[in-house]
Structure 1
């Protein structure tokens, strides 16, 4: 489920929370977006029930899907690895894993996990004192394609590989696995008992996907063996081959699968540039593709094509780098945040697509999920007057001289890319220095260009000068966002069914390293507090779901107050597909049923 237009940006599929890397805001997504037509306020307050969510999928009963055929699904590139727990795993890695490997839990449209009965009869917390114990009762029919039953040995090998105790395993994250004390067979071969050293609320996130012990049993197999092939699988599809020259990953029906057989003969992930996808769909060389919003009209005009569009299970944000410069002052960050009309930005991006034009009020929970509430009141409503007062309190005074609006076009260059300067009519200064912020955006993105320009003009109204630098998309994230080479930036994060686990690295307080640098995990704004860390840690250890939601809500309010990340809106997902395609489209949190995908009879 490739959700990214930027090759450096990765979205884990709902079942593969192995690595969470920021998404480029420009992406118009493929089959993986929940239609959350949820009314949400732009102020602080009410909780929205998950019952309002849905999906925008070309749903067809299995009886109406013909047997056979090849579905060609556009991706941005060939996955760099088929091991979803490696740092260079991407969204296509997760798609392959979802179609070929066990997952103990599936997510519904609201991001709520349910036991996947193809693999799991049930799983429960069977002990709390002296330690938390989770017992998995496996489906006795679950077998790997080599004939061996899925069992405790696979669970134990994956735990050992991902626990973080052995650095020879090149893992991207160890969240949850590092809390496990032991894995053992239970009452019989179908029972697996997992004992935790400390309580872990998000235990359902573990062992999804589950790799065979032949992959996770040794560092060599884990690091290299599963990069380009998966000889042993246990899903409706198997990996036939990865062809980097042709840009394809070919999945075929798995003859060893015990569940409902895959309708398709083949599912082929095909690397196709976004600019060429509409013509490829029209020509019949693609069946399913995420497209940019600008291509929507062309697809609608093309006979035999349909569009599925929805707010995605991901959100766009403005990141404020608080590690140095003017934005190290929380008052300045608050001023910048309160100068931005988030409602106007959401309307500009979403209304033309016919999607709910509402700003997002939560960093950790999306409107389709239980526990969603708008906590933006912890920051304060948009107000130019209040923003100017905050700047004045921080020592930034408005100049009496009028500078006049200026905009340097793309002909002007900066050291790292094309530069556009938005000057305020009356600048704010401190000790004779004008308040100027570097706004870094990826090049060739109409959406980012529009949103970034709007934000710069809003900031000019409070006297802030903005230098918008557009850089090559391939280097945008690694060389600028991760490196901290920005004051302002736009990128996105995927939503999560397990926010206390998945969001902790994103909002954790940076830790000074011995050399004086900051260890930031995935908190690229470099803004964090001890209180946020403590609340998320408590939420991750709280086995009472209601209490965990309360702690998560408190953490979100504190994240708003820190003003390092300003959510703007849920990203739009625009998916084009041939009208004959069945059971594909915009899924969002919902785990796709790959065995039901195919073509209408």
Structure 2
């Protein structure tokens, strides 16, 4: 899978301490349920074409990250390729539309509705009378019942990855006939549409053995426009062929081949015609755009290997290759030969890319900054909130999306994406970007600038340096250190030009530093920004003159004291001398873990920007780049990080699917912490209660309101900060239609194919 990457779309539906604190928060209510859902941030791009304009026949090869380990979507090692196979070959009661809303699939379902709510919720499914499995057996209540028993969680012999919703079912009965299925719930379940999609035959779900092993590498019985013909793990291919038993509109393709192609090999595979459709990274997308631009041109390409060599460098290379130094000449000749070979290969690939186009949209997934709240400085909610308030999320979204021509608006919800009914921007519960407020929060948590750090020369020489600085400033060391007879904490503050409201001092004469560390921490809350939407600090109209409009909370200076400098101007010499923020002899440094593999360049670029933003408020980061295969397992899931970037998918069922991601971790029987999928380890009882209420509320508007309230609380807890919706870039041959960047919508596989040639009937 890609890393922006570490989208856990398959995981979210499969598997998948700290209270809000005493800080005063902005209002945490969300918009009313009467709000209309916004439009998706970007429309899908699939070359939508009527079926009568799509040719019959042909084979389409679709690149996937890896051949699925299992074809059973309810097992822990199911992935995105498993989902592709299931969507093309198995029944789905509901599919998602372009706005991410569940819609009844008429090929399988005539109707489905809640027919009773008291004393129990009862849903009545009426199946399409033509719906049959590929072996000719009617799809019916027996299949529903077998899937419920397998996924209910009551029989541990079934190796299931998830049972959300199925554990609430009390019983399943036949209605008037086998095509009517009555599902009775022991506890109300708002997201009942999420169940029985995909639906497996009772041959797979009927026994633990058949569930655990029967559908891992084969799917003998299916019910969809395609059926699994071959599953070749050695070749890395799964071949789906048009199903002869399909009762709906016949598949336009003869075959659909899913081929495993690594991300860094996809441009070559597309150019060679080995793949017809593939998700690509921005680098490959640019190559395809350049190939189209260069069509019909002659001469060497102005991009690719060797294109950056200047005339001077070329002349020097020729001179070395033909010089008298035989050893140097041989090495240079080999280098020139390698470059020529690379240029020729690149040019050939560019020629092969000219018949491709890139379809682009925004994927139904978002990238977040995760803050590990289990240990270290981030266990303090004030520090997490300071990190969040330091981020310019609009800038971070622009880094990734603007170069691609995609909307660069930050994501405003953890639980829904723009266009979905439950979406509303609840980021106001945390507050807008505000450097001054971020510094004030750190000061309130005891992290102050210029503090001596244990084990460093600062600690050893702090007192001596303070006295020297005091003498240079012409101050009495005793008074400057806070021991003045007037009882003041010292008023000699060297700040920065052009202050922002609430700015903390970044440099003090060292005699005043110790006293100011205490004063800032003690008084920050008294002069914190008012709770207005603009986040600006309320001013005091009395008392001594403040430093500019902000300055250190509670700190004053005589007239004529230098005004603070703008933080964006960079650190002043005085600030550099002050050293990092420190507390109890320890500097404020956070471990930032990022993936190192191809395809994660965007994550690393965003990580660098975040590090610079945090440096402005005195937080230093130590970035560690780790291999892709260990990034999630060995660092994110195990909690070996302070900051990390990874993605979560959007879902049509946030109350159910998001519950394990934001649930408050609880101690397990063996003494460990059960975090489910909450890898930030940040959660509250209130969030759990709101999501539980939303999942049990059958009034859809009320359920959405509860989801929005939960999202506001998740923002306030500051365990994860949504940044931007992930780009979806799909390279595809120009004559392929009804496929590409699908956005929210579930692909309609029987409509995918090649456009008819002009004049062809």
Deviation at 1:299, TM superposition (A): 1.0
In the aligned structure 1, how far is the partner of 2:614 from the partner of 2:652? 34
In the aligned structure 1, how far is the partner of 2:580 from the partner of 2:729? 40
Cα RMSD of the aligned pairs, angstroms, is: 2.1
CA 1:111–1:387 in structure 2 vs 1: closer, same or farther (change >3 Å)? same
Provide the residue aligned with 2:607 in structure 1.
Answer: 452
**Match of 2:44, SS?**
strand
CA 1:158–1:45 in structure 2 vs 1: closer, same or farther (change >3 Å)? closer
Check if 1:290 corresponds to 2:279.
yes
- Deviation per residue, 1:275-320 (Å, 9 max, x gap): 1211221221110000001221111123111111111100000000
Deviation at 1:371, TM superposition (A): 2.9
In the aligned structure 2, how far is the partner of 1:142 from the partner of 1:430? 67
Deviation at 1:7, TM superposition (A): 9.3
Provide the residue aligned with 2:152 in structure 1.
Answer: 163
Q: State the number of aligned residues.
A: 558
Deviation at 1:54, TM superposition (A): 3.2
Provide the residue aligned with 2:267 in structure 1.
Answer: 278
Structure 1 unmatched ranges of 5 or more: 22-43, 405-422
**Match of 2:406, SS?**
coil
Contact residue 7 and residue 474 of structure 1 kept, 8 A? no
Taking the TM superposition and a 5 Å limit, the aligned residue runs for 1:457-472 are 457-472=612-627
Q: TM-score, normalised by structure 2?
A: 0.71
More strand by proportion, 1 or 2?
1
Greater Rg, structure 1 or structure 2?
A: 2
Provide the residue aligned with 1:4 in structure 2.
Answer: 2
Contact residue 64 and residue 261 of structure 2 kept, 8 A? yes
- Which one of the candidate residues 242, 246, 258 is aligned to 2:231? 242
More helix by proportion, 1 or 2?
2
Deviation at 1:111, TM superposition (A): 1.1
Contact residue 48 and residue 373 of structure 1 kept, 8 A? no
In the aligned structure 1, how far is the partner of 2:447 from the partner of 2:13? 44
In the aligned structure 2, how far is the partner of 1:329 from the partner of 1:230? 50
Contact residue 4 and residue 10 of structure 1 kept, 8 A? no
Check if 1:19 corresponds to 2:14.
yes
Taking the TM superposition and a 5 Å limit, the aligned residue runs for 1:255-274 are 255-274=244-263
Contact residue 4 and residue 647 of structure 2 kept, 8 A? no
**Match of 1:94, SS?**
helix
Contact residue 11 and residue 20 of structure 1 kept, 8 A? no
In the aligned structure 1, how far is the partner of 2:392 from the partner of 2:696? 36
Taking the TM superposition and a 5 Å limit, the aligned residue runs for 1:562-577 are 562-577=717-732
In the aligned structure 2, how far is the partner of 1:476 from the partner of 1:285? 30
Runs of at least 4 residues of structure 1 off by over 3 A?
A: 3-10, 44-48, 50-54, 400-404, 423-426
Provide the residue aligned with 1:487 in structure 2.
Answer: 642
Q: TM-score, normalised by structure 1?
A: 0.90
In the aligned structure 1, how far is the partner of 2:452 from the partner of 2:685? 42
**Match of 2:115, SS?**
strand
Deviation at 1:50, TM superposition (A): 4.0
- Deviation per residue, 1:181-212 (Å, 9 max, x gap): 00110111210000000000000000000000
Deviation at 1:274, TM superposition (A): 1.3
Provide the residue aligned with 1:120 in structure 2.
Answer: 109
**Match of 2:608, SS?**
helix
Contact residue 314 and residue 492 of structure 1 kept, 8 A? yes
Contact residue 3 and residue 595 of structure 2 kept, 8 A? no
- Deviation per residue, 1:79-106 (Å, 9 max, x gap): 0000000000000001000000000011
- Which one of the candidate residues 178, 182, 198 is aligned to 1:209? 198
Contact residue 144 and residue 196 of structure 2 kept, 8 A? yes
Contact residue 505 and residue 521 of structure 1 kept, 8 A? yes
Provide the residue aligned with 1:54 in structure 2.
Answer: 43
Contact residue 9 and residue 477 of structure 1 kept, 8 A? no
Contact residue 18 and residue 173 of structure 1 kept, 8 A? yes
**Match of 2:9, SS?**
coil
In the aligned structure 2, how far is the partner of 1:401 from the partner of 1:200? 56
- Which one of the candidate residues 68, 72, 76 is aligned to 1:87? 76
Taking the TM superposition and a 5 Å limit, the aligned residue runs for 1:312-351 are 312-351=363-402
Provide the residue aligned with 2:214 in structure 1.
Answer: 225
Deviation at 1:385, TM superposition (A): 0.5
In the aligned structure 2, how far is the partner of 1:333 from the partner of 1:530? 19
Provide the residue aligned with 1:388 in structure 2.
Answer: 439
In the aligned structure 2, how far is the partner of 1:110 from the partner of 1:49? 9
Contact residue 535 and residue 552 of structure 1 kept, 8 A? yes
- Deviation per residue, 1:221-260 (Å, 9 max, x gap): 0000100000000000000111111110110001000001
In the aligned structure 2, how far is the partner of 1:104 from the partner of 1:371? 21
- Deviation per residue, 1:52-102 (Å, 9 max, x gap): 563111211111111111100001111000000000000000100000000
**Match of 1:550, SS?**
helix
In the aligned structure 2, how far is the partner of 1:442 from the partner of 1:278? 21
Provide the residue aligned with 2:341 in structure 1.
Answer: none
Contact residue 6 and residue 473 of structure 1 kept, 8 A? no
CA 1:295–1:45 in structure 2 vs 1: closer, same or farther (change >3 Å)? farther
